Amino acid sequence: MSSLTSALETGTFTSVDFVAKTDPAAVADEYGDLTGNLFGKLGAPHVSATKPTFTGNGADRAKSTLTWAWGLPGGKWTYQSEVELAKKGDTWEFVWEPTVVSPVLTEGRSLHVETVQQQRGEIMSTSGATLIADRPVVTVGIDKTLIDPVAAPAAARDIAKIVDINPKRYAKRVRAAGAKAFVEALSIRKPMMTKAKRDRIAKIKGAAMLNRTLPLGPTKQFASPVVGIVGEVTAEMMKKKPGTYLPGDHAGLSGLQARYDDRLSGKPGLQVTVVDDKGEVLKNLYNTDPVDGQSLTITLDEGLQKSAEKVLKRVKPESALVAIRPSDGAVLAAANGKDNKMNLATYGQAAPGSTFKAATTLALLRKGFNADSQVKCPAKTTVDGKTFTNDSWFPKSAIGEITLAHAVAESCNTAMVGAAEEISHAEIASAAASLGFGIDREAGFTSYFGQIPEPGSDTEHAADLIGQGKVLASPLVMASVIGSIQAGHTVVPNLVEGQVAKPSGVEPLAEDEAEQLRTIFRGVVTDGTGRGLLDVPGKPVIAKTGTAEFDRNGKRLTHTWMIAAQGDLAVAVYVDEGENGAATSGPLLEAFLRMANER
């Protein structure tokens, strides 16, 4: 019996003895027709057989009961059928009939499995607005039943060029797919599918366009790197979680959609039927009901998110903008530039430059300094052989002995570097932590909260104080830094409802410290590098600019930053390559605050 059960599991019948005039190749073809799309959807079945018993029609006729088990997500579908055997000489041969596959099958009938789609959970705002919901799309792809397999890869490359995806990779996927597969190329929002594009696709043999819905935001760019996307499950996902997905199923592929996929996705239903040669359902054999997914509530504000993305729309280098609500740490906007290669808003890692002077200033306050304390701001200073200077636009009038507030307002590097003898690494790390920086924690979303590792030298420690050295930050954490100053307590950003972390082992930010910091960083706007924000309507703005040098492809370039807070809103803007914080990031932050004030 093993030769038959193995053949039923593999679809290859060359080793099976059939009664006279039964062609194994013809059996294989008929078996493929009888099992319909089950192999493609469910994979190979497991088939076992009982020991044959005589049927009572003499010693040369027998039968065996076959038990079939087809794997399903979270279970299996089992049933039984029978196969007859006839003895010829000393050999038992199998009698092939459609009923071997299922007792309900006859010629012209086949098995068919369909996924009964569940409703994926929506992503909601804490305000009650629906952010991510099913929206109409046109899914473009190759239907391999409509084209010769040899010609399919070339057709795939033609489609890929029209929908702007990698032709080589898509052709490879089409070539590897089953003979009856529909291989998705791209889903396009229905309003974006022009008649001209439809007409071009329709001319390609094998092309298909399916009307369906996918979980999408209100705009194409809406928080996409943070929220993530939903798409067809990959081979790697099916291998990693066997028995969870069927080919063609959709799941979260990135961002929150992937992280909370178990909650959002629910579970599709299945329906196994008998169909005739026209595809009409004749009988229902097995079904499971779909289970809808649960919604996920996040703190993003739709209006502020759209404003942030509008601000970054024309920025050519990679960029990001994060806005949080200091009173409770809610992330209101997490926008990435349209050409970003990754989620810089919450997971970017770059030197924060002079925006990190917020932590250095707090450390100095804890050493007994105040806004009016005198500090030295020379044109240059040397630490262990390394010369530090101020930026080229630094005003000459500020060179010399000035107040701490003035040094912060004009962003004097040499004054902060000179504080290296006053502030230890432990003290600057503690001050940074009080502002929410460098506290590693599980936030419930892809996030980076900065680092200030133990310096390897005095030079590195001095560089840390001006946000260079080995200090790294994300726009998310720098919004938390200025937000902590504004709120008067350590702000821990949160994005997903119910995922609020509290800082532990952190020296609390005292109210008098916060008050002094607010005074000093208000001076950045009234008398320093943040003057561009002075006429922003609404409550007073506190801010800090930042510029951090780095080398790329043999060139010395600069990251540009600006952080600011106004009322119950704290914002960080980052541009990967720019002139300086005030000139490059400043106008972007100003535009965002003005939009926020117009709401």
Q: What are phi and psi of 247, to 5 degrees?
A: -55, 135
CB 98 within 8 A of CB 229: no
Tokens 């630094």, located at residue: 394
pLDDT at position 104 is 94
Count CB atoms within 10 A of the CB of residue 135.
Answer: 14
Task: Please check whether residues 63 and 93 belong to one and the same domain.
Answer: yes
Cα Rg of the chain (Å, integer): 33
496: left (phi over 0), alpha (psi -120 to 50) or beta: beta
Task: Please check whether residues 38 and 66 belong to one and the same domain.
Answer: yes
DSSP string for 71-130 = EETTEEEEEEEEEEEEEETTEEEEE--GGGT-TT--TT-EEEEEEEPPPPPPEEETTS-E
Integer Cα distance of 16 and 8 in angstroms: 10
Q: Determine the length of the chain.
A: 599
Task: Please check whether residues 350 and 464 belong to one and the same domain.
Answer: yes
CB 360 within 8 A of CB 416: yes
In a domain, 90, yes or no: yes
| Both structure tokens of 123 | 């992503």
Task: Please check whether residues 34 and 179 belong to one and the same domain.
Answer: no
Last residue of one domain, picked from the residues 242, 277, 296: 296
Tokens 């419930």, located at residue: 444
Please tell me the pTM assigned to this model.
0.84
Task: Please check whether residues 349 and 464 belong to one and the same domain.
Answer: yes
Task: Please check whether residues 496 and 372 belong to one and the same domain.
Answer: yes
In a domain, 279, yes or no: no
Integer Cα distance of 334 and 478 in angstroms: 12
Task: Please check whether residues 24 and 163 belong to one and the same domain.
Answer: no
Alpha carbon distance, N-terminus to C-terminus of the chain: 75
In a domain, 280, yes or no: no
CATH number of 182's domain? 3.90.1310
In a domain, 175, yes or no: yes
Which ranges in 142-231 belong to alpha helices (H)? 152-163, 167-176, 195-202, 224-227
pLDDT at position 599 is 81
pLDDT at position 192 is 92
Handedness of CA 532, 534, 539, 544 (dihedral sign): positive
pLDDT at position 487 is 97
SS3 labels along 303-333: HHHHHHHHHHCCCCCCEEEEEEECCCCEEEE
| Both structure tokens of 423 | 């502030």
Q: What is the residue range of 313's domain?
A: 302-598
In a domain, 275, yes or no: no
In a domain, 368, yes or no: yes
Task: Please check whether residues 388 and 496 belong to one and the same domain.
Answer: yes
Task: Please check whether residues 413 and 549 belong to one and the same domain.
Answer: yes
DSSP letter (8 states) at residue 528: S
In a domain, 429, yes or no: yes
Number of domain units in the chain: 3
For strand 75-88 and strand 61-72, is the pairing parallel, antiparallel, or unpaired? Answer: antiparallel
Task: Please check whether residues 429 and 334 belong to one and the same domain.
Answer: yes
Last residue of one domain, picked from the residues 116, 148, 180: 116
Task: Please check whether residues 359 and 408 belong to one and the same domain.
Answer: yes
CATH number of 582's domain? 3.40.710.10
CB 137 within 8 A of CB 188: yes
Integer Cα distance of 487 and 515 in angstroms: 10
pLDDT of the chain along its 599 residues, tens only? 789 999 999 999 998 889 888 899 999 999 999 999 898 888 899 999 998 888 776 778 899 999 999 988 878 899 999 999 998 888 889 999 999 999 999 989 999 998 888 899 999 999 999 999 889 999 999 999 999 999 999 999 999 999 999 999 999 999 998 887 899 999 999 999 999 999 999 999 999 999 988 889 999 889 999 999 998 888 888 888 877 787 778 899 999 999 999 999 998 888 999 999 888 999 999 998 999 999 999 999 999 999 999 999 999 999 999 999 999 999 999 999 988 889 999 999 999 999 999 999 999 999 999 999 999 999 999 999 999 999 888 999 999 999 999 999 999 999 999 999 899 999 999 999 999 999 888 889 999 999 999 999 999 999 999 999 999 999 999 999 999 999 999 999 999 998 877 777 899 999 999 999 999 999 999 999 999 999 999 999 999 999 999 999 999 999 999 999 999 999 999 999 999 999 999 999 999 999 999 98
CATH number of 82's domain? 3.10.450
Last residue of one domain, picked from the residues 116, 147, 176: 116
Nearest partner of 525 among 472, 589, 467, 569, judged by Cα: 589
In a domain, 51, yes or no: yes
Sequence-distant (6+) residues with CB within 8 A of 84 are 55, 61, 62, 63, 94, 95, 97
DSSP string for 227-243 = H--EEEPPHHHHHHSTT
CB 408 within 8 A of CB 357: yes
Task: Please check whether residues 111 and 129 belong to one and the same domain.
Answer: no
Handedness of CA 365, 369, 370, 374 (dihedral sign): negative
Integer Cα distance of 296 and 174 in angstroms: 34
Nearest partner of 352 among 592, 585, 541, 525, judged by Cα: 585
